[in-house]
Amino acid sequence: VEQEVLEALPKTYILTCEHDVLRDDGIMYAKRLESAGVNVTLDHFEDGFHGCMIFTSWPTNFSVGIRTRNSYIKWLDQNL
């Protein structure tokens, strides 16, 4: 992606999880956005795994799912 395309992007929230094959891609993308001057929030969860945010209701109400969901909702409340 061209630098001028990145520069035109709005505030961005990126959530990464330690146990996710896409972790490094998310971190690298956040760094590229920061370099382009985009206001970016990178939220990393050491105990997270890919898709953990959907595990928020019984019988799969995992604490990491609830924490990732709450973190994202908090960011939305503060930034939209």
Q: Where are the domains of the chain?
A: 1-78
Average pLDDT over residues 2-19: 96
| pLDDT tens profile 14-64 | 999 999 999 999 999 999 999 999 999 999 999 999 999 999 999 999 999
Cβ neighbours of residue 70 under 8 Å, at least 6 residues apart? none
List the one residue out of 21, 57, 48 whose CA is nearest residue 71: 48
Residue 1 confidence (pLDDT) above 90: no
Query: pLDDT-derived band of residue 67, with 50, 70 and 90 as boundaries?
Result: very high
Burial class (CB in 10 A: 0-12, 13-18, 19+), 59: exposed
